[in-house]
Every structure is written in C-alpha cells, then in structure tokens.
Chain A
Amino acid sequence: MAAAAATAAAKGNGGGGGRAGAGDASGTRKKKGPGPLATAYLVIYNVVMTAGWLVIAVGLVRAYLAKGSYHSLYYSIEKPLKFFQTGALLEVGIVPSSVVLTSFQVMSRVFLIWAVTHSVKEVQSEDSVLLFVIAWTITEIIRYSFYTFSLLNHLPYLIKWARYTLFIVLYPMGVSGELLTIYAALPFVRQAGLYSISLPNKYNFSFDYHAFLILIMISYIPIFPQLYFHMIHQRRKILSHTEEHKKFE
C-alpha cells in the first residue's frame, strides 16, 4: 500500500518531485510551472533520489551475485534504503499535490521501514522484505526520473509508459511484501510487548502494538483497491491522451 499510495499520490495530482506543465498528462491543468530557482532545487532533489534508488538497486544485484542467493539481501542495502526512503519526507512540503495524500504515502513507507522492519529484527531475513524492497526500488527509480525529465520538459515516452504500466505488477507485489512482513512480525511483537503499554499507569492510557498492526493490515483491504483502480483510471486517461497526440504529430 505504501507502494500503491506513492504512485497514486504522485500521478493523481502530478505530485512527487514537482511537475511541469507539458510533461504531465493532465493537459487541462493550466498551472504555471515552478520558478527557475525552485525548478533547480526540484531537479536536484529528483536526480539525487533517482541516484539513491539506483544505488539500492545496484546494491541488491551485487549482493545477490556475491551471496549466490536472494535470501537476506536486506542487510546489504539497509542503510541507503532507510536514508532515501526517510528522505522522501522532504517531498511533503514541496509537492503541489494534496499534502494529505503525500504525507499518508510517505508516512506509511517510513512506518514499514522503521516501525516494522527496523524494530523487529527477526523479520529482516524474511523474503517478504525483498519483495517490497524490489517493488519500491523499481517504482521509485521510474517515478523520480519521470519527475526529473518532466521538469526539464523532455520526457521520453518510455518513462511515461513505464510509470503508468509497471504499477500493475509492482503494486500487488509491494503490497504482498508489506503485508507478509507485518504478519511475520506479529508473534515477535506480542512476545516482547513491543511499543505497548498496559494498565494501570498514571496517564490512564494503554496501547497494544500487536492489535494496532493487525488493524493496519485490515486497513489495506479498503485502501489498496481504491488506490489501485485510481491508478488504472489514470493510466487509461494519460496513455490514451498521448496516443491521440501522437496521431497528430
């Protein structure tokens, strides 16, 4: 869902690393692009993020080749993953799209990285982690390069196509990885009473992190289909729009 929300937030409103008028497919939007200084900042931001996720991708491949297996690759990219995914918090302020949608997306990714994977060490060797890391990595490389090219008004059709097509596989893949990872964490959370507080205490408050994680998993049921079908709808709109444009070229 963190994967789904990322692209939905971005595509639905042209958010993420900023957008330019021409590159984005919502042709009806007449909003001015950002000024030259802001554009420079956004381009740099998007380039850095693209590079960062490429580093993660390369790190995964190298670790796979070195180890000879795809298990426990998390450890080889743990630091850049944490750095660049957490860094996406910077997007929340600068993005034209709804602050609510963007922060929701980034928060859910950051939650998975820190409050689940980092906090519950026992799940770090699970294969489900690799599943969502790969999904996020491919999605983000395409997304940030999409923004970079859009800002420079030179968007290759391949990138646009990739962004609006690969999600069909990457979303479910990412969501599966996320859910399986949270599920794997449950017994360890319960056993350790992780992040939980029980009565009695002087602030008359209690929190059961185990129950909370289950609620999070349940919330995927209404949220994921909405985001997914929003993306499908966007794809139809944007890719057919480009087809029409190409006809007249």
Chain B
Amino acid sequence: MKHYEVEILDAKTREKLCFLDKVEPHATIAEIKNLFTKPHPQWYPARQSLRLDPKGKSLKDEDILQKLPVGTTATLYFRDLGAQISWVTVFLTEYAGPLFIYLLFYFRVPFIYGHKYDFTSSRHTVVHLACICHSFHYVKRLLETLFVHRFSHGTMPLRNIFKNCTYYWGFAAWMAYYINHPLYTPPTYGAQQVKLALAIFVICQLGNFSIHMALRDLRPAGSKTRKIPYPTKNPFTWLFLLVSCPNYTYEVGSWIGFAIMTQCLPVALFSLVGFTQMTIWAKGKHRSYLKEFRDYPPLRMPIIPFLL
C-alpha cells in the first residue's frame, strides 16, 4: 500500500509546522489533526483548521486523504481557530443564566427594587404566570441541550460564550426587571389577552419541541448526516411544508405570545432582535438546503410561510 506524506504549513507565514510520513491513504482529516496535535499539544484538534489552500475553505474531519486533490506528498495549510469551547457548555451556561436571573427579580431579592418591596410578591396573576412560562421555556431548552440536540460541530470559539451570555442574561434581566416591578401594569385587555397569549405560547412551545424531536430523528446518534426534513404524523411538524426552519418560526411565536401576555416593551424588543437573528440563520440554512439537495421542496420559505 502506498503511503502518503503530509506536510503542514502555517497558512499565514508558510512556516513548516509538521511533517508526517507514512500516512495511510484512507486516513481522515480528523486522524491527521490528531497526529498534528502530538508535536503541538496546544493546538488540540477542535482548534485546527486545515485547508488545501491558505485562503480556502476548511477541510472537513470526515474527508479522506486519498480522495483529496493532492499528490502523494500533500501540503496542508493550518489556521488556528483560537480557544474553543463545546456547544453543550455554551448552551447550558447561556440558558441557565436567564432561568436563575429571572427568579431573582421574581422573588424581589434585595437591592433591585426599593427596600420596602424586598421578598414581596406581585398581586397580579399574570406576573406569576409569566414566571412559570419563562422558567418553563429555559428548563425546556436546558433539557433539550442535554437530551435532544445532536450537534454537527463539537465546539465554537471561546469568545462566543461571553457574547452569547451577555445577550441572553442581559435581556433576561431587563425583561424580568419590568415584569416583576412593583409598578408593573397588567395587560390592557385583561384576562382575555392573557389567555390568548398563553395559548399562543403553549402551542409554539409544543411546536418548537416537536420540530426538535423531528430533526433529532433525522440524524442517527454520533453521525453528522444531513437530510431534508419532512412533516411527520405530528401536526406540529406540518409547518415543514411551508418553512425550512419551523423551530425558529415557533420560537418567534413563543416570544410574541410572551410579549402579548406581559404587554412589556422590552419583551417585544427581545422578540424582534431574536427574530432578526433567527431569520439570518434560517436564510443560511435554507440556502444550504437548496445547494445540497436538488429536489428541495420549492414551496418552502426560510422562516415565515410565503413571506420570509
């Protein structure tokens, strides 16, 4: 069997970082990354980006050496992606924060509102209901992170955890401050408004969960396969007929429901920002579906049926 030689150069300085000889032709990039880590232990595989061209795209871990357009001496270029952190860690941290922070405001822990309000309870039913909904939402997210989601990338850059936590924790504190404020004003249309909003919220939470389960079932454990998602027997998944990312659609719907329930402007702003971000993600996902699958259903829009 012919063995390959692999030399790894720094993409920016072209400095020779590593020379591997007697590499199996069917070795994967993942295996090569493990070999590269040995002389450079600070560059663990998750932070390595190897490519054929210094300015090109990163090679995938599953790519096989002999299938790449290289001779028997392959030259790969290395870029340091920076310190990495696992997706699971980031998700757990960014979701645990809002859960905990909201409760600090709900229980009116000292130094937030005036001292005469310390540990008092709101007299509005909707405030208690809102706490239940908000807490349920983040508990659901934490459980999904632990038991439902299957991540295609193990890690993300470390700086993301600071960015993401600032966003989630900051908004949670901002919303919670007003909803649990002693001067909170309940919704204009009273119990009717709250009931309608609750219905929207619950339906969208169920919908979002259904989509997460459907997506999970598309991908076998430990694999990174990608398939077109289709509606299942669960009616909540029928939204797949109209959008590529119904999980985002339902998520936006949940927050709109929460905004109507609490009639709180910061919640509406949070929904708007979240919607903007999810639209960007949905459009990206939609585009990659279209690129990858020739037979992708043409009726589908990224996030809002027929519109967006």
Contact = CB atoms under 8 A, between A and B. Distances in A.
Interface in B160-182: 178-179, 181
A200 B183 contact: yes
B91 interface: no
B78 to A, nearest CB: 22
Nearest to A200: B183
A245 interface: no
Interface of A is mostly: loop
Contacts of B179: 204
Interface of B is mostly: loop
Interface stretch (B115-123, B148-156, B262-270, B288-296): B262-270
A204 B184 CA distance: 6
Interface in B272-308: none
Contacts of B178: 199, 204-206
**Range class of the A interface residue count:** under 10
A202 B185 contact: yes
B188 interface: yes
Interface in A203-238: 203-206
Contacts of A201: 185
A203 B181 contact: no
A6 B20 CA distance: 49
Contacts of A206: 178
A203 B262 CA distance: 9
A204 B178 CA distance: 6
Interface string B235-265: 0000000000000000000000000001111
Contacts of A203: 263-265
B183 A205 contact: no
Interface of A: 199-206
7 contacts: A199-B178, A200-B183, A201-B185, A203-B264, A204-B184, A204-B265, A204-B266
